[in-house]
């Protein structure tokens, strides 16, 4: 029986995909798989029994990846599962920033007792008029699952779309509308666009990428949208740009003391993926990833280990080994199995940075003492008999 634990509420649409061979546990201790959304795992003591963690969402900054890699724990995420929910909030953010819809609604609420509110509203409406987004230039930084959806949708709204992503995948490129202008640099996005939206992961190179220097290159009256990660923007510099009029509006999905209540900001409480559909999609993808890993040893959408797929095992057994990406590892594994009289039917070895993963199909079941010998090979971080 494989036990799993949910650190956050996970949609039943996903959990119902677990077979009778899985059991939900009330505590973390002793489980083999973990499902998480926003719970902070960085200070948690992760039990030695854990083999996989699935984040029902894209960002994994709440998971200690280095610690997991050292223990041979494969960390999955669900890229693209919540993309449509975020895309729709980006579009809503652009519209709300362009026309002062929120200000107009609040004015009506404050003056609801006026007997002639209709006549007064006709005189006041010019204060909330704003502009249309059709014909404006939208710059998208990052053309992954979310950025590509935003780009295509914006073209249908009549916007001229500029996209920048030096690491764009072939699949993402194929999914983009032909009308999208591929910017060659961030400077081109900054200097040309009326609206700029960010859709990149938070890494050292992107931390505070929107800062005083980059804002100075932007058009006066630019609208900036950040529904990716709050630390992508130097918000102190952004607030200063709002106050001096360089930036017209700032739309962010991350409430914090720096931006909450600041004039010309639209701050939502992390609503990007908080739709019923997004939560269901993420849960379904996360459970499918966990099941394929636990039952077949296959890895898809891991953020710390390489992709690896050997399908369903048809041999007598399969062993999954996580290890450091070092020389002579495969020969040591083969020798250990060979010395035990176990013949290898098939083998796949993949690497990702300093981490590597090996799946071995064998022609006889691997006894526990041989699994222990494999685990004792220097550089091996975990060993598991899949079948």
Which SS3 state, helix, strand or coil, does residue 359 take? Answer: strand
Contact of 370 with 360, CB cutoff 8 Å: no
Taken in order 12, 18, 23, 27, the sign of the CA dihedral is negative
pLDDT computed for residue 115 by the predictor: 87
Spans in the chain with pLDDT lower than 70: none
pLDDT computed for residue 385 by the predictor: 96
Q: Which DSSP string corresponds to 207-261?
A: TT-BSHHHHHTSPTTEEEEE-S-GGGB-HHHHHHHHHTTSEEEEEES---TTTTT
Contact of 163 with 140, CB cutoff 8 Å: yes
What does DSSP assign to residue 366?
Answer: P
Question: pTM (2 decimals)?
Answer: 0.83
Give residue 228's Cα distance to chain centre.
9
Q: State which H helix or E strand residue 83 sits in.
A: helix 83-98
What does DSSP assign to residue 371?
Answer: H
C-alpha atoms less than 13 angstroms from C-alpha of 378 in its C-beta half-sphere: 3
pLDDT computed for residue 201 by the predictor: 87
List Cα–Cα distances, 111 to 102, 104, 264, in angstroms: 14, 11, 22
pLDDT computed for residue 171 by the predictor: 76
Q: Which DSSP string corresponds to 281-333?
A: HHHHHHHHHHHHHHHH--B-SBSSS--B---S--SSEEEEEEEES-TTHHHHH
């Amino acid at each position: 029986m494989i036990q799993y634990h949910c650190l956050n509420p996970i949609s039943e649409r996903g959990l119902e995909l677990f077979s009778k061979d899985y059991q939900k546990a009330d505590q973390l201790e002793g489980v083999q798989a973990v499902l998480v959304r926003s719970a902070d795992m960085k200070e948690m003591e992760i039990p030695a029994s854990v083999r996989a963690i699935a984040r029902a969402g894209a960002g994994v900054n709440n998971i200690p990846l280095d610690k997991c890699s050292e223990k041979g724990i494969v960390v999955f995420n669900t890229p693209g599962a919540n993309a449509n929910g975020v895309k729709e909030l980006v579009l809503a953010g652009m519209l709300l920033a362009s026309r002062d819809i929120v200000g107009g609604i609040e004015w009506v609420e404050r003056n609801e007792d006026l007997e002639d509110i209709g006549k007064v509203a006709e005189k006041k409406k010019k204060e909330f008029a704003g502009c249309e987004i059709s014909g404006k230039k939208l710059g998208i930084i990052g053309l992954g699952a979310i950025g590509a959806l935003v780009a295509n949708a914006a073209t249908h709204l009549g916007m001229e779309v500029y996209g920048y992503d030096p690491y764009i995948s072939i699949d993402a490129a194929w999914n983009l509308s032909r009308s999208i202008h591929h910017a060659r640099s961030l400077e081109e996005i900054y200097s040309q666009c009326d609206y700029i939206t960010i859709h990149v992961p938070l890494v050292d190179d992107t931390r505070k990428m929107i800062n005083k220097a980059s804002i100075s290159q932007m058009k006066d009256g630019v609208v900036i949208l950040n529904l990716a990660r709050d630390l992508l923007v130097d918000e102190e510099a952004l607030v200063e740009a709002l106050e001096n009029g360089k930036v017209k509006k700032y739309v962010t999905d991350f409430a914090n003391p720096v931006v909450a209540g600041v004039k010309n900001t639209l701050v939502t409480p992390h609503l990007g993926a908080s739709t019923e559909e997004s939560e269901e999609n993420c849960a379904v993808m996360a459970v499918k990833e966990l099941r394929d890993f636990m039952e077949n040893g296959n890895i898809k959408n891991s953020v710390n280990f390489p992709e690896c797929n050997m399908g369903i095992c048809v041999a007598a057994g399969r062993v999954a080994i996580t290890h450091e990406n070092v020389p002579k590892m495969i020969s040591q594994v083969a020798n250990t199995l060979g010395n035990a009289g176990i013949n290898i039917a098939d083998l796949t070895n993949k690497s990702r940075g300093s981490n590597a993963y090996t799946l071995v199909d064998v022609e006889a079941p691997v006894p526990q003492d041989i699994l222990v010998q494999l685990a004792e090979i220097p550089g091996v971080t975990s060993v598991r008999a899949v079948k």
